[in-house]
Amino acid sequence: MAQLDWDLRSRFDGADAPASGLDALQPNDEGNLPCLTMSSPLHPSVVLRNSQSNAVKLWRAIDDDTEVPEVQLDDSGAGLVVWRWDLQPHFMRLDTAQYRFMQALDQGSSIQDAAQSFADTEVLPTPEVLGAWLQSWMSQGLLRAAFS
């Protein structure tokens, strides 16, 4: 919980860059999607953390002023992403597959390279999975604009 609190507070002052919008999924004049081939496409305010407990549920319960559940450990390999979107810090729990894919992006891979590496595996069993992730990430400001 303390790590999540620190990450949220520190994202506010984190590095800035324009976020990529859903329009980035439209081909440019050459028919390419630059957002798929640039290395390290995550917004610079993004930080990834292992999620070894139900801290997100605890945080949300406290924030919503509802009954706080018991602490539970989680060794599923899931993760947590914390970032700033506009002027507001956000966080989201990622399932194991999405977390592993996003870790590859955080380590410098392009979306295209990560997709090729994980294609037809438990991380990325179908292209539709990646399409859903991209739509979600772009609508939430998790990716930086290709020109930044």
* pLDDT, tens only, 24-64: 666 777 777 777 888 999 999 999 999 888 888 887 888 88
- The mean pLDDT of the chain is 88
> 14 phi and psi, to 5 degrees?
-70, 175
Q: Is residue 16 part of a domain?
A: yes
**Where residue 125 falls among pLDDT bands split at 50, 70, 90?**
very high
Q: Is residue 34 part of a domain?
A: yes
According to the model, what pLDDT value does residue 19 have?
78
> 67 phi and psi, to 5 degrees?
-60, 130
Tell me the residue range of the domain where 112 lies.
2-139
- The encoded tokens of residue 9 equal 């507070």
- The encoded tokens of residue 72 equal 């539970």
Q: Is residue 78 part of a domain?
A: yes
Q: What is the CA radius of gyration of the chain?
A: 16
Number of domains in the chain: 1
* Mean pLDDT confidence for 101-129: 97
Q: Is residue 52 part of a domain?
A: yes
In this prediction the pTM is 0.85
Q: Is residue 109 part of a domain?
A: yes
Q: Is residue 60 part of a domain?
A: yes
Q: Is residue 94 part of a domain?
A: yes
